[in-house]
Amino acid sequence: MPYALQVANLHVMLGGQAVLQGIDLQVRAARWTSIIGPNGAGKSTLLKAMAGLQPAQGQVQLFGQAFEAMAPRARAQLLAWLGQSERAMDDLTAFDTVMLGRMPHQNWLATPSAKDTAIVADAMRSTHTWDLRERSLAELSGGERQRVMLARVLAVQASVVLMDEPLANLDPPHQTQWLLDMRALVRSGVTLVSVLHEVAVALQADDLVIVHGGRIVHAGACDDPATRAAVEAVFEHRIVVRQVDGMWTAVPRL
């Protein structure tokens, strides 16, 4: 089975604390993997390490190649990243922000090609940000801004996309749209890894990785009953995983 990302014996220390303690993970290509777990479990740190943005002990491979062996530009074309509450340059327009996603494909100081412009327009239309294209980021609401950042990641057209809390600030229609867009992306062959607090959305993924205390406590297919039991357990049985209209969802146990 082809793997997009392989993580072996990953350790991260932050502020004298062991935040990741020997993570082994294999992310299957052309599938959607969701990472969930309680606050402070180490999810964001794991995702950052998989993006090469977090110094760590251990090994991360992208399509079988060690990260450090890859040229930065080749890696930036293959792997796109959306961080949590990502900072952006407030003075840039939404259009120019999304165009930043094309940088790994452009030559230094070259003007964007017609292809770059078409890809940016597509990404902005699919995230409903096209009408915001001339506004500066500073003028946008939290959800509008998040959708612009999503468009930027889509504009990279990377084979592997990592997203940390992509639904932050998105209203329910845009959450549903995100789900539909991500399914289409994965069907087209992209590998998606997302850290999500919305358990009901995370359960729609193909595979689920559950992190607790810097360790993976469960990894399995979302349609495996053992995975659903592990979800309830890691959240101390304060939620129940139920089927509604043929879809698995999580509701509070009151």
Q: Which is nearer to ligand ATP, 39 or 188 (by Cβ)?
A: 39
Answer yes or no whether residue 118 interacts with ligand ATP by CB under 6 A. Answer: no
Q: Which is nearer to ligand ATP, 81 or 95 (by Cβ)?
A: 81
How many chain residues touch ligand ATP (CB under 6 A)?
12
Sequential DSSP letters for 64-90: TEEGGGS-HHHHHHHEEEE-TT----T
Closest among 77, 79, 78, 68 to 104, alpha carbons compared:
77
* Cα dihedral 66→71→77→79 (10° resolution): 30
- Report the amino acid identity of residue 248: W
> At its nearest, how many Å lie between ligand ATP and the CB of residue 231?
15
Q: Which is nearer to ligand ATP, 19 or 151 (by Cβ)?
A: 19
Closest among 2, 84, 3 to 43, alpha carbons compared:
84
Answer yes or no whether residue 19 interacts with ligand ATP by CB under 6 A. Answer: yes
Q: Which is nearer to ligand ATP, 40 or 142 (by Cβ)?
A: 40
Among 15, 64, 173, 246, binds ligand ATP (CB under 6 A): 15
- Are the CB atoms for 201 and 175 separated by under 8 Å? yes
Where does this chain bind ligand ATP (CB under 6 A)? 14-15, 17, 19, 37, 39-45
